[in-house]
Structure 1
Amino acid sequence: MLVKEKSSNSIILSIVLMLTIFTLSAHANEACEYEAFLIANHHAEAEASTGNLARKQATDEALKSAWRKLINRLVIAGQDITPLMQIEPINVVLYMRVQNETVLTTRYIADLDYCFDRELVRQLFREYNIAYAELVSDRIMLLPIFISGDRTNLWKQPNPWKNTLERILPDHNGLVQLSIPSGLILERRITGQGIIADPKSAIATAASLDNVSMVLLTSARVTIASSGLELAVTGGLYDRDGNQLAELEETSMPVTNSTDLPKYLDQLGQDMIANIEQVWRQVNLVDLNAQNMMRLSVTITSLEEWFQLLTRLENLSPVETVQLRQLSADEAVMDITINGSPEAMDYALEQLGFRIESNPDTSVGGFVLINRN
């Protein structure tokens, strides 16, 4: 029997791969603490002369593209990100987890999770003066209405706008968590015509039924213009009471052929989601080189409750430091240094189930932290 001797290069490559995988997988059983810094189910695939070489090529490229994906998710558009693209992303990865992989003789295929180190990434943002956002939204209900002639469809077909968004959303990689709801109770209580007739009441009812704090209502309308068909998409973001928080700018385009409608809807859907992401990042902007201070008072019932709240506050994306000013049996007063606006802090607190109001006690000033429930 002939035994084929491995070359020294092959042995070295195998050792390097094993060391790299061991290092990145050391924390693989842990959950990624900060959701915004997790790139999940990232595909890696390559073909080479050997399986080990294919794995190295695939994982090297996957790590680089995962880093680009993270930057696109977090960084405010319009900034010079050249320095970020020049770093070695392996230096800011906390761990890599293999979801599934196939290693063939000359091919490697895998889906990988990359958890990036929040503190190291934030250090890079500070060093290169990069403004960014990392607050992941609560689930936002998405209600897509399709209007054509006298038909206003939400759940009923045809609704190519809903179909398009259902296809786009699974591949969405952002901070805004959009979800089209389903369920017989919701479908019976909320209709396209009902939303058009009384949007505030319908949106408040939908939010209550699905237990969400925000609703994105969007419509795609097809009309007949002098040059043929025209497609227009618009919408707005609403709170749980049906009050409008932001309006989406209307986008329209001519449709030369009805068979091209899915293509145009796909383009407008991608543009709409990208715009929502950009607005969300702007509202929740973190600028590590621009600081503001806000005074916050909160009612407490025990020291344990205070320490739990302190930990949660310190982990909020806009928070730089929390300094205790006063602690009594029933109240804590803090000075919080934030890297952003009070509005960004308000959104971050909303995700924890709190809201802030001006403190009626003028001797203390600042804001009062209130449980939104």
Structure 2
Amino acid sequence: MKRRNISNVCQPVHAGFLLLFAIMSFALPAGAQTAPDPYSVNGVPVDETAASAQAARTTALANGQKKAFDILLRRLTLSADHSRLPTIPAGQIVNYVRDFSVDEKSSDVRYIAQMDVRFRSADVRSLLRNYSIPFAETVAKPLVILPVYEAGGDLKLWEESNPWRAAWQRIVVSDGLSPMVNPLGDLPDLSALTASQAVNGDAERIATIAGRYAANGALVATASVKDNPAGSVEIYASAFGRGATDTVFSETFRPAEGETPDAVMDRARDWLRMAVDDAWKDRNLIRFGQEAVVLVRVPIRSLSDWNDIRRRLDDIAIIYKRELLSLALDRAMVDLYFTGDADQLRTALAQKDLALEAELGQWVLRPL
């Protein structure tokens, strides 16, 4: 493992202070927010019919876990590697399942449920490593999707007659490592941003929309209908906001024979979701065997400051271990064990509003 040498280490933690710290560490505030777990797959539908409700339930749960596992592997990996993903028999998926919950109903012969499945991260990582398939784990802060429709020189964003926005409303966009948020399109949204302002990249107004949905920024995605060939759709999308890159996503979709305009929009939407997700994963791929440990100083003013930062660190998937070396009234010294490189660690920390900076020969971790 790599280790960064840091000087000026604090004194060991005083026993009484550590006891107080331990007590306060478990006194989490009511309603504390938890980050999305990349190894949890929620809302998987199952519907099975068999000779009895119990038989239907057994089949449904096995199939639901397999479906969730397939979703998980695709979530963590690049689309170019999906054809190489291992096919695990349904009966063996249970070896990778940490636990699951169901919202269920049944009759004498039918079982219907929505499943939430949590998987064992270490076992999934080992599986992907054994197949030499790189993967990412860091979940990005969400982006608000702003789908602008252009036809005949007219722009539409919030209108009900916007078929591009309707395509995004037909799906759940929060799943994946680069989640998105569908805005409500209510009066405050209409007042905050117009279609032309979105297309022209009005940073202040776009930031207002993003802030309303507690998002990191917004993805302005324009779908332009072309006449040659008839019904073609040209997609042009770029992100705005904190941490946004200059990546531009563009592609043209031509309707297949018999394909409806809505189906073309759905195909374009699915491509854009995958492209945005792939771009994020590509920047955060975990390289096999790349593990390191870094010693950081965390300035604090109180134990509640440390508790807040500790919870954020525990929500970062690539940090697989943290070791508190010392704790003083004004700082904590912590070893962070992580997979990936320093840039990936900084990116993961930034998703939790934490900044890692070098100061006077030390790595310092503080809230943004």
Q: Shorter-chain-normalised TM-score: which range?
A: 0.7 to 0.9
Q: Which has the larger radius of gyration?
A: 1
Q: Partner of 1:50 in structure 2? A: 52
Cα 1:123–1:87 change in 2 (3 A) is farther
Against the structure 1 CA distance between its residues 137 and 101, is the aligned structure 2 distance closer, same or farther, given a 3 Å change threshold? farther
- Percent of aligned pairs with the same residue? 22
One-letter identity of the residue aligned with 1:353? D
Shift of 1:126: 5.0
Q: Which residue of 2 aligns with 1:250?
A: 250
Map 1:20-99 → 2, pairs under 5 A: 35-77=37-79, 78=81, 80-82=84-86, 88-99=92-103
Structure 1 letter corresponding to 2:145: L
The Cα of 1:188 is off from its aligned counterpart by 1.0
RCO comparison, higher one (Cα < 8 Å, 6+): 2
2:3 aligns to what?
A: none
Q: 1:185 to 1:47 in 2, by over 3 A?
A: closer
User: Where does structure 1 differ by over 6 angstroms across 4 or more consecutive aligned residues?
Assistant: 31-34, 256-259
The 1:320–1:48 alpha-carbon spacing in structure 2 relative to 1, beyond 3 Å, is closer
Tell me what 1:192 maps to: 195
Which of 194, 210, 214 pairs up with 1:211?
Answer: 214
CA deviation profile, 1:297-350 (whole Å, cap 9, x unmatched) = 321224564466345425521224445677554234445342113332223222
Please report how far the alpha carbon of residue 91 of structure 1 lies from its aligned counterpart in structure 2 after TM superposition: 1.8
TM-score between the two structures when normalised by the length of structure 2:
0.78
Q: Secondary structure at the match of 1:112?
A: strand
**1:233 CA drift (Å):** 0.5
Which sits farther off after the overlay, 115-124 or 153-162?
Answer: 115-124
> Offset of 1:256 from its aligned partner?
7.8
Aligned: 1:132 with 2:135: yes
TM-score, structure 1 as length reference: 0.77
CA distance in 2, matches of 1:87, 1:343: 39
Q: What do the CA deviations read for 1:40-99 (whole angstroms, capped 9, x no partner)?
A: 222222233333333222222222222212211223442743276688111222222220
State the alpha-carbon separation in 1 of the partners of residues 114 and 160 from structure 2: 35
Alignment partner, residue 277 of structure 2: 277
Q: Distance in 2 between matches of 1:55 and 1:86?
A: 14
Aligned counterpart, 2:298: 298
- Report the number of matched residues: 333
User: Which residue does the alignment assign to 2:338?
Assistant: 338
Which runs of 5 or more structure 1 residues have no equivalent in the other structure? Answer: 1-30
Aligned-partner SS, 1:137: coil
Aligned equivalents of 1:278 and 1:249: distance in 2?
Answer: 11
User: Does the 8 Å contact 2:53/2:106 carry over to 1?
Assistant: no
Q: CA 1:331–1:51 in 2, change beyond 3 Å: closer, same or farther?
A: closer
Partner of 1:7: none
Counterpart in the other structure of 1:20: none
SS of residue in 1 equivalent to 2:111: strand
For the structure 1 residues 46 and 154, does the alpha-carbon distance in structure 2 shift closer, same or farther, using more than 3 Å as the test?
same
Gap runs ≥5 in structure 2: 1-32
Please list, as runs of the form range in 1=range in 2, the aligned pairs for 1:138-217 lying within 5 A after superposition. Answer: 138-169=141-172, 173-182=175-184, 183-217=186-220
Q: Distance in 1 between matches of 2:293 and 2:353?
A: 22
Contact 1:284 / 1:344 at 8 angstroms: preserved in 2? yes
Deviation (angstroms), 1:269: 0.5
For 2:55 and 2:214, the matched residues in 1 are separated by 49
